[in-house]
Amino acid sequence: MSKKALLAVAVSVLCTGATFAANSTPFADVPFDHWAYTAIQEMAKAGVLEGYPSGTFNGTQPMTRYEFAQAIYRAYTLLSKKIDAIKPVGTGTGPTGATGAPGAAGAPGAAGARGERGAAGERGAPGERGPQGMAGGPGKDAVASSEWAQRLEKLEKLVAEFKPELDRIGADVKAMQARIAAAESKLQALSETVQNHENRLAALEKWQWFANVKTEMGVDGTLNIPGGFSPNMTFDRGEAYTYLSLRAGIDANLGGEMRGRFSWW
């Protein structure tokens, strides 16, 4: 029996076994009269399809590629087990027949693999010594070492030549650092002084003094004018007066919108 026939038998056995199971579908949301009721029931009983933890099938919800792969894998596993359980038909072994006549000689086979290499022969006598070659130059390492030594020597000469300038630059840098530190110290002291003055000004703005002085001078009396204005007019009575008023006080800022005034007369 071919593999295709075995697969057809396995599908038939699988679906038949599911058909004779319980008559009710395991999913509460699949109605009995639905056109896919039988297929869902058989695949669920066979273990190919599974519902959701709530016991529903949700037939209108799209299937993801993961769910599709899982269903195919379950169907493949079940069919493989069914196929393995089915015994192939017509694969028995009959009795052994008589030995036939020998056949004709076959064509010569391909050449065999190459054999192992034989042992080496004896070493011959040494030949005559050739002429002496020319002396070789220094190796790469020696040339590189010499070049670095020359560069180092030049660098040492430059350092020795500019050492006084380098020392002077170092001294100038130290002096500059000292000046910067002194300037920073003075700036800090100046900042503290300015802050102190600002605090005092704020205190003075909270209390403000004021004072005013008012003076008045005059003559008070009754004018006697007989028969109208004339050079002979006199005062019946009269007095001179002087008035002095002094006022001083303090205006205080009590905080926020509150103000106060203390005054003396």
Highest mean pLDDT among 10-19, 136-145, 181-190: 181-190
Type of residue found at 161: E
Q: What percent of the chain has pLDDT over 70?
A: 75
Burial string for 213-232 (b: 16+ CB within 10 Å, else e) reads eeeeeeeeeeeeeeeeeeee
How many CA within 13 A on the CB side of residue 67? 9
Average pLDDT value for residue range 152-158: 82
The residue with tokens 């599908």 is 11
pTM, two decimals, is: 0.26
pLDDT at 192: 92
Q: For residues 51 and 188, which has the higher predicted lDDT (pLDDT)? A: 188
* Helices and strands per DSSP (H, E), number in the chain: 5, 3
Average pLDDT value for residue range 216-233: 65
Question: Crossing angle for the helix pair 65-85 and 3-19, nearest 10 degrees?
Answer: 100
